[in-house]
Structure 1
């Protein structure tokens, strides 16, 4: 593993048993690494396993199989004290700013929950830290005594960001942090995340649907399809030269704010429905919708390999 890799995930699997002999393969053999101080964007259709992957990395789900390393050490072999330290260094910003904040707790208690668990500050120091965090995310110290229902969606997400920052983490999973917000607020929240990263040296896994925003914030981008990683490359390389047929179709769907250009462009339209992740057929998950599919594609799962420098793709065509 490279010295500057903060997170490394090897062959990660997360399966859910959903009925008699039925297994939902939410994350199926995903490998990735995240360098210290960078942002890795993770994109794909709804239900492709992005959020489950993020939740498994931070420890909210137990992995079915696979190995995760944080700062070069296996997460699974950590002692209880080391796991507590891991939960301090790894935090998550949730998608829904309404469901993720306890309506019965004040903003001060929401932000300080992690501080109290890890015994970081007490008394006046604790309150000073809460006020400092509120100021950091663009809120006022008077907001500390209020309840979540008194805030807008954008303000709630800022509270969620303050809560994640409270324990001074190194790595944050941002699980679609802007998808529930108005467009005018989305840019403010993304710019806040970029500013905090620059000031505090944070590392992000940024999960999102907005491909334009992912390009703006991410150093590298991974593309998931039906539980598998199909492509991973630098933001510039992926958007300039997508190699996997699914990535090509996904990027062709990005809207262009010019009606003339938008009308004349050729979008790649995928035929058919997304297959079920429950007991999926062998072979490439994308084979049923791929116009380039060969017999081999529906029989053997392609290996996720480096095609060009730092450009990884899982496709039999390459």
Structure 2
């Protein structure tokens, strides 16, 4: 197990460095000039040259990359080219919205996908199962923006229970108001991604119902529901863990769209604005942090899956 963890960490570092090269190179290909954005259209060539020197844009590209990536290993994520504030401080502030939103979306995803997937598999072939499957297929096919607009229409319009947009200015000083502001966005992301996970849970449950050990349990006198509960669902749970990393990554990506729709001051909305303003130091650091988080979650899921699944441990030994 120790060898597997060390190997997984080594692959994580290699993937993260490769991602940093890709992010750095891709942003340099974008049109626009940071110095021009800061200086404005009336800036003289001398002023633009001065700004490029201040931002380090006049140095060789390789030196810019090494300075940037070296700062990560010392905790320095750089400074915003537009505001002059440390990127780490802005990321920490915006993460206070995005992290709770992602966690709430994960709870919605699991609450929607797991019970409906198991039920649809258990009732396979019946009208109720077909109706749930059709609803999940429709939800997965609908754009996230459309689901969000529908959530606003129902939750904030017809029912009037929840705010349609925005987040409290004082942040989490009033936890209830902050949580209410995240309910509709979390439902939007959770329902869309839950529809995707539903199909996987349903398939895994169908496989479990036809497994030999479940059939043996039923032959020994257990009812179908009890055999599924005691002998089938543990295997389904292991299968869910194996794809949970991908689902969490999808939740983080979904937050980029949803934060725009619901006017939430999170990482996704900040990233979209920074790309438009060509704040390259901030954009590249934000992207690399998000990439690192997704890679780390994937590695943790792999380790947890390896630890709780005896089949993987026995295969390795």
Give your verdict on TM over 0.5: no
Q: Which band: TM-score by shorter chain?
A: under 0.3
Q: Which structure has more RCO (C-alpha within 8 Å, separation ≥ 6)?
A: 2
TM-score under structure 2 normalisation?
0.20
Q: Between Structure 1 and Structure 2, whose CA radius of gyration is higher? A: 2
TM-score under structure 1 normalisation?
0.20
Larger helix proportion of the pair: 2
Larger strand proportion of the pair: 1
